[in-house]
A = this chain, B = another copy of it.
Amino acid sequence: MARRRVIGIDAGGTKLLGGVVDGDLMVEHRVHRLWRGEDRREVIDVMADAAGEARAGASDVAAVGFGIPAQVDFARGVALASNHLPLNGVAFREVMAERLGLPVAVDNDANAALLGEMRHGAARGSSEVALLTLGTGVGGALALGGSIYRGRDGIGVELGHIPIDLDGPPCPGRCDGRGCLEALVAGPAIAARGEREAREDSSSALAAELAEGRAITGAHVTELAHDGDQAAMRAITETGRLLGIGLVAIVNLFAPQVIVMGGGAMRGGDLLLDPAREVVAERALEPARDEVRVVAAELAEEAGMIGAAELARDLEASK
């Protein structure tokens, strides 16, 4: 049975990735955009333009799906609070359907990535799944009983804002919490931890970078850890253990069969995940801790786009 093509657009806080996806998950007519996202009209223009470009290359496009970095009222297709893009209150589905002349579906970007991983990636066949994206912040999504759990009107499911250290540092995000996962394991926290380790170990490659006056980033620390620098490895190990405490909360609450890890910090791979897995094995409740797999996203950078395309496909199928 031939299925019509759909467009999936994964619109992150700083960049956009999209393409035309066919029934066999072949992606064609890829589009990329970078933006600063300061102006609402510009952001919508860029998204509409990118979808238009992808569509121009393909015939027979049935619908367009978007993943956007905002809380989304999925039933109404309205963007709610967003950290990254000025889309608060935008009737996104309606506006974009009007612009494109096609049916449009829209969801939170982490929800879209989770949908992609559930249908075609690391979470195939699982009913309870958590997805965490570790980047500048910590995003997350949750599937319960086989369906994406979108919270009450899109509010909640803030996996990055589980407090795990009651006296921890203030959360840098739009959050007045302390010791949230985001405050402890996102990029800036990795960078700060790397810097601290560097100051304590003047022979490390990290210390050499500091001495040269270079700013240490999370990506930097991850890279040097892969190169075997001990200070960088300690910073990543400690980050992994803190991540593990957050995973304990998730395991004890949801008993997921799989926790899918994505985002830039996943370049740390098992250097980051192994300490997290150890903490889960040590501290989480049985039997859930024995059943959960903690794995990297299989679709990697494309999970959001593929998931957004699945949203469009669901729209088409429901007609």
Contact = CB atoms under 8 A, between A and B. Distances in A.
A249 to B, nearest CB: 5
A164 B166 contact: yes
Interface string A31-66: 000000000000000000000000000000000000
A176 to B, nearest CB: 5
A139 interface: no
A288 B159 CA distance: 14
A313 interface: no
Contacts of A144: 144, 149
Given A149-B144, A249-B249, A288-B155, A166 B255 contact: no
Nearest to A162: B249
A151 B248 contact: no
B255 A175 contact: no
A136 interface: no
A236 interface: no
Given A128-B152, A151-B254, A152-B255, A285 B158 contact: yes
A165 interface: yes
Interface in A241-285: 242, 245, 248-249, 252-257, 282-285
Interface centre among A151, A156, A161, A165 (most CB of B within 10 A): A156
A159 to B, nearest CB: 7
A257 B157 CA distance: 14
A52 B152 CA distance: 42
Interface residues of A, number: 43
B152 A248 contact: no
A255 B156 contact: yes
A101 interface: no
B128 A156 contact: yes
A152 B242 CA distance: 26
A172 interface: no
Contacts of A286: 81
Given A128-B152, A282-B176, A161 B252 contact: yes
**Minimum-distance CB pairs A-B, first 5:** A156-B255, A155-B255, A158-B252, A161-B252, A177-B283
10 contacts: A144-B149, A145-B152, A155-B288, A156-B252, A156-B253, A161-B285, A162-B252, A165-B166, A166-B242, A177-B285
Interface of A: 81, 127-128, 144-145, 149, 151-152, 155-159, 161-167, 174-179, 242, 245, 248-249, 252-257, 282-288
